[in-house]
Structure 1
Amino acid sequence: MIAINNLTFEIGARALYDEANWHIKPGEKIGLIGANGTGKTTLLKIIVGDYSPTSGTVSMAKDLTMGYLNQDLLSYSSDKNIVHVAMEAFERQNQLHDEIETLLKKLETDYSEDLLNKLSDKQHEFELLDGYNIEYKAREILAGLGFNDAECQRKLSTFSGGWRMRVMLAKILLQAPDILLLDEPTNHLDLPSIQWLEDYLKAFNGAIIIVSHDRWFLDKVINRTVESRKGKLTVYAGNYSFYLEEKELRAEIQRGEFKNQQSKIKQEERLIERFRAKASKAKMAQSRIKMLDKMERIDDVDDDNPEVNFSFKFSKQSGRHVVTMEHITKKYPTIDILDDAEAIIEKGDKIALIGANGKGKSTLLRIVAGADTEFKGTSQTGHNVTQTFFAQHQLESLHLENQILQELQAFAPKHTDTELRSILGSFLFTGDDVFKKIKVLSGGEKSRVALAKALTADANFLVLDEPTNHLDMASVNILIQALQQYEGTVIVVSHDRYFLDNVANKIWFIEDQKIKQYPGTYAEYDEWNAKRKLEPKAAAPAPQPKKEEKKEAAPAKQQGDNKHQQLKKLNQDLAKLEESIAAIEKDVKDLETQLADNTIFNQADKMKQVNNNYQLKKMELGAQQQRWEALAEQIMELE
């Protein structure tokens, strides 16, 4: 389909690609990954012909059609409504429509047979191209990307850049090209739209190349991973999770080969040193020196996964209740967000606030942070709570003339330079990078600086609004590690499901103008929500009683009997759960034994299957242990 051979692309003296090769086959769904600055977007521009390679070739069929979504489209504007903009994808159908309209106008005064034949031919072609359904198709895709009927009538120019990008994505999808090239397609999409796009791309018949930092999205869509690194393109025959496993296996082999070669080199050097001075052995020594010089050296494995090597500290612990919200009602002229809603954030909670755009996530986050006071009801911050609020607009508050290190020194004067440099190092600013001025940084780099500032604050409560925007995968992993070891309380809005699944222990969502809660990880919530959509009654959320709800007191004997029966039932459930946990623990140990078995280590498929089963059992064990703890707490409260 597309063949890239010996591609070299230079920017000044730097070779972004150095004799790279890659063959793209029909129907492949490919994730193009790599750290920021490794040339992923540049490669897409080379494929579509926007850039010319320094040397090498990019070959493809002449009739190959390509659809290219890139961030440059944010600036596109039009005074047409968004349905008509999306319908621009149907170039031939639109041309025929205009020609048919012209012929119909002429027929008002000219009834010639020639004109009627032309009209019949045009209408036949229009019908063959399904021209009568193009508006329906456009509206269907726009609906999937989050536009309602009223918004479909609005001019493109009235929408923000992010919503305009959705329209351009709809237009590209409607073109149904042979290959889609999508540069960060999930940027500016909310969770329902991302999930819709996943399903659309999985069913798409053509080839796809996706540049994305959204691991969850990649795992759902792609069946090939191509890594751009050190000027080369390396292909892995699976999704992103497969790539991580396969890369680690390759790295283990390379580490072994590197150690063996280093051992051999040291042995040869000792022999050379020993015999160099002896005349009878000088010739042999010279021969071994030449052999070492000609030896193709194996590189050691680079560490692509930097770890957080500092801990976030705060000077005082918060009380048990961090934020208490009661009878919250928040309305705008065109939409009601919350109606008599209530919720409590407790010490140690790590909450993911999720949902579609326009449903009130950012509004609720601002109420929690105290940045929005225009509402009915009360939102009370608890004892000793110290808060930091991170949002994308805070990038604008960075001092452009400051160096990165100066920016943190001014914000966190209690930290030493060594501590600050350690923090910046964890956010990928190493060595002389810390002396770069803020004004020369990219959007992603500014995000990392702003996050580093937020996490150096003496705060026991973090409020984070889209902290992963503009971050590459390495930076997202750093933030995950930082928040996992953070001992304070967190509430975060993000569309990055991998990030949420690794950080949050509670999920909040707004439904029926109330704040609903799911007590678990994002993956558990996602599974529960999928079942709830299929069986809305059976899987409805458990009712959440209002705080301090008064009930009529039951007679003491009746209360005692109920308590005894409840304790008996809970203890029976606990015993069954302990049996289940013991069985799962045995399965986990059996799988660990298999993983340690050398006979399957070289069987990649078998190794992958056993490892997948092991991870699933570990997740199941964790879930059962959480249920055991919850039951045990209930029993202790009743006793």
Structure 2
Amino acid sequence: MNIKQNAPKNCIFAPNMISINDLTFLIGSRALYDEANWHIKPGERIGLIGANGTGKSTLLKIIVGEYAPSSGSISMSKDLKIGYLNQDLLSYESHHTILHVAMEAFERQNQIHDEIEVLLKKIETDYSEEVLYKLSDKQQEFEALDGYNIEYKANEILAGLGFSTADQHRPLNTFSGGWRMRVMLAKILLQTPDILLLDEPTNHMDLPSIKWLETYLAGFEGAIVIVSHDRYFLDKIVNRTVESRKGKLTTYAGNYTFYLEEKSLRGEIQKGEFKNQQAKIKQEEKLIERFKAKASKAKMAQSRMKALDKMERVEDVDDDNPTVNFSFKFTKPSGRHVIRIENATKKYPNIDILENAEAVIEKGDKIALIGANGKGKSTLLRMVAGVEKFEGSCETGHNVTTTFFAQHQLESLHLGNSILEELQAFAPKHTDTELRSILGCFLFTGDDVFKKIKVLSGGEKSRVALAKSLTTDSNFLILDEPTNHLDIQSVNILIQALKQFEGTFIAVSHDRYFLDNVANKIWFIEEEQIKQYPGTYAEYEIWNSKRIIPVPKSIPVKPAEKEVKPKTEEKPVTANSQQQLKKLNDQLQKIEQETVQLDKDVKVIEAEMADEKVYSDQAKLADANKRYLTAKQLLDAAQNKWEELAAEIMELESN
């Protein structure tokens, strides 16, 4: 049976795309899933959530057939086309360009293209009708498959995921793992599957790319299953939430925020049922104890005991939201000025980060440093931490003690220590109870705290390093992507901890929920300057959506063009050149106005797509998505034209 990918989203009687029935999956003697059931319908957008270790990624592997269930069944239509993104793709290697790798998605089109090339070569010497007919048939099939637009489609998706035109012609193996993952995502999206299974798709993405992916998925007509710890991302995309917990899969008919409210409500009901049942059990046990010794009542007592044994017990509600029960301790508070940056200039061979930039961090500032990848966020953090050389100065204020958390800090962990010993050595002022409480918040419970650092995974080491940062004696924290490798519960713990922290911190993260809950100032790098918005991340987003982004001051010059050239005789400025310069400047001014208007149009459509009335209506959403892609294409063309005109003006003015 062929299941159409544009079936109604909420159709009760729609056939299941994938049916999971009584699924049991054992790891050793532990049941990761125990007779779990789940049915995925066409058009559903599902967030698969749960604490680390509850089997979310494993379940996706079971669905695609990488793992076999211990018992139970998974059924789906034979021709169901699944697009599966997982973290294993980070290791994919290729010497081809990323554009070539992305276009591998068009398997049939590429095959026909190669056949057409062979026939075109053959027709140079063979003019037979047979060859001409074959060529005509192949060209018609290629056109029917939209083969002439496949490169444009690949360009569009790669650009949305943050790749410049030049980047698209670089080999895949020259990119880091995070960027490779984006290429693999582009390839999967280009395959237009019936259902997308996305395991942490926003890992290694910057905020602009996450927003682009949100917009793209909002217009995707197939079903989607997303494993993610990004609450904002889930709220924007999903209309169903499935929780993996204690071997079962529980469905909630809404996004993540709905899930929290509904689960709380269900929990209150379950608590009441548990309390009532426990009272009934105690009453029954008293009656049985009272009458079991009496011969005349023994039969009745025996009957009640059997009924009690057969009673289906209501479980008490576990607290899934542990709280931080420790306090930060630092010996001395800092002075008013924590960091003062003056005349800071930082350049790399192919990119200028800062030019005579200035900034001040004051006591009590909770700063979120945001922006696209490659804009210099981590570089700026290292400058603040004093581990990155640059021109200018970065002065540390009175009594400021600093702790710098970054992913490379994992290398400083002592492999021979147990997790608890690592924290004891780093934070001797904290009691073992406090340290174990902190470790419990980061998923190290019971005997886990005695595991050696050397046997931990990369994610576990990251959580240990972060726990160490929270036990520090420092009054100034520098945090580079602290939410990486954390599930939603652990992110909540980190938020609680930073809210209690009475010192100062600056953090880089792509988790918008985290940023919105901890920051009272926003920093961003623009026009090679450190700029500041004095408010929360949510307030910054509203402000940023209304402003006009500054046009670049100049076109970046390639390093080869920066070489000092011998002086040549200056050409006299003629009336013709002045007339041409005036014409180009008029055109530049006109295209600037067009760019501003097109940018506004794009933002209006983006706001429209975020409206519940639009994104809940498939027809309206598809129309909005189509208008968005058209407007974005026009904006890109206008920006390219601006760059061409600016380059012409610069060349003419230099003559």
The answer to which of 183-192 and 516-525 deviates more is 516-525
Q: State how many pairs are aligned.
A: 535
2:127 is aligned with what amino acid?
Y
Q: Which residue of 2 aligns with 1:607?
A: none
- Give 1:442 shift: 2.5
1:383 is aligned with what amino acid?
H
The answer on whether the counterparts of 1:9 and 1:54 sit within 8 Å (CA) in structure 2 is yes
Q: Which residue of 1 aligns with 2:136?
A: 120
Partner Cα distance (1:291, 1:125) in 2: 71
1:368 is aligned with what amino acid?
V
The answer on whether the counterparts of 1:309 and 1:426 sit within 8 Å (CA) in structure 2 is no
- Give 1:285 shift: 2.5
Q: Which residue of 1 aligns with 2:555?
A: none
Partner Cα distance (2:339, 2:290) in 1: 74
In the TM superposition, 1:202-217 aligns within 5 A as: 202-217=218-233
Q: Which string of whole-angstrom CA distances, capped at 9 and with x for unpartnered residues, describes residues 509-534 of structure 1?
A: 1111111111111111112212225x
| Alignment partner of 1:443 out of 434, 442, 458 | 458
Q: Which residue of 2 aligns with 1:131?
A: 147
Q: Which string of whole-angstrom CA distances, capped at 9 and with x for unpartnered residues, describes residues 117-151 of structure 1?
A: 00000000100111011111111110000010111
Unaligned runs of at least 5 residues, structure 2: 1-16, 552-655
| Alignment partner of 1:93 out of 98, 109, 130 | 109
Q: Which residue of 2 aligns with 1:390?
A: 405
Partner Cα distance (2:85, 2:392) in 1: 45
Q: Which residue of 1 aligns with 2:603?
A: none
In the TM superposition, 1:565-604 aligns within 5 A as: none
Are residues 1:222 and 2:241 paired?
A: no
Q: Which residue of 2 aligns with 1:47?
A: 63
| Alignment partner of 1:368 out of 384, 387, 390 | 384
3-state SS, counterpart of residue 166 of structure 2: helix
Q: Which residue of 1 aligns with 2:499?
A: 484
Residues 52/425 of structure 1: CA separation in 2 closer, same or farther (3 Å cut): closer
Partner Cα distance (1:420, 1:299) in 2: 30
Partner Cα distance (1:72, 1:490) in 2: 34
Q: Which residue of 2 aligns with 1:174?
A: 190
Partner Cα distance (2:509, 2:244) in 1: 26
Unaligned runs of at least 5 residues, structure 1: 538-639
Q: Which residue of 1 aligns with 2:396?
A: 381
The answer to which of 269-278 and 37-46 deviates more is 269-278
Are residues 1:36 and 2:34 paired?
A: no
Q: Which residue of 2 aligns with 1:471?
A: 486
The answer on whether the counterparts of 1:257 and 1:298 sit within 8 Å (CA) in structure 2 is yes
Partner Cα distance (2:372, 2:36) in 1: 41
2:169 is aligned with what amino acid?
Q
1:66 is aligned with what amino acid?
I
| Alignment partner of 1:422 out of 437, 440, 448 | 437
The answer on whether the counterparts of 1:427 and 1:448 sit within 8 Å (CA) in structure 2 is yes
Partner Cα distance (2:300, 2:538) in 1: 64
> TM-score, length-normalised on structure 1?
0.82
Q: Which residue of 2 aligns with 1:58?
A: 74
Q: Which residue of 1 aligns with 2:18?
A: 2
Are residues 1:523 and 2:538 paired?
A: yes
Partner Cα distance (2:491, 2:69) in 1: 31
Are residues 1:236 and 2:252 paired?
A: yes
Q: Which string of whole-angstrom CA distances, capped at 9 and with x for unpartnered residues, describes residues 186-241 of structure 1?
A: 01111100000010001100111111111111111111111111111111111111
Partner Cα distance (1:282, 1:60) in 2: 55
Are residues 1:272 and 2:325 paired?
A: no
The answer to which of 392-401 and 479-488 deviates more is 392-401
Q: Which string of whole-angstrom CA distances, capped at 9 and with x for unpartnered residues, describes residues 581-639 of structure 1?
A: xxxxxxxxxxxxxxxxxxxxxxxxxxxxxxxxxxxxxxxxxxxxxxxxxxxxxxxxxxx
3-state SS, counterpart of residue 331 of structure 1: strand
3-state SS, counterpart of residue 180 of structure 2: helix
1:403 is aligned with what amino acid?
S
The answer to which of 415-424 and 166-175 deviates more is 415-424
Are residues 1:200 and 2:213 paired?
A: no
| Alignment partner of 2:28 out of 12, 19, 24 | 12
- Give 1:502 shift: 0.8
Partner Cα distance (1:85, 1:187) in 2: 20
1:446 is aligned with what amino acid?
K
Partner Cα distance (2:275, 2:546) in 1: 51
2:83 is aligned with what amino acid?
G
Q: Which string of whole-angstrom CA distances, capped at 9 and with x for unpartnered residues, describes residues 389-437 of structure 1?
A: 0000111221222111111122223333233223222323222111111
Are residues 1:147 and 2:163 paired?
A: yes
| Alignment partner of 1:322 out of 335, 338, 342 | 338
- Give 1:536 shift: 8.1
Question: Root-mean-square deviation (CA), in Å?
Answer: 1.4
| Alignment partner of 2:417 out of 391, 398, 402 | 402
The answer to which of 322-331 and 177-186 deviates more is 322-331
| Alignment partner of 1:308 out of 324, 327, 340 | 324
Q: Which residue of 2 aligns with 1:507?
A: 522
Partner Cα distance (2:529, 2:423) in 1: 39
Partner Cα distance (1:426, 1:125) in 2: 58
Are residues 1:281 and 2:306 paired?
A: no
Partner Cα distance (2:27, 2:292) in 1: 47
- Give 1:342 shift: 1.0
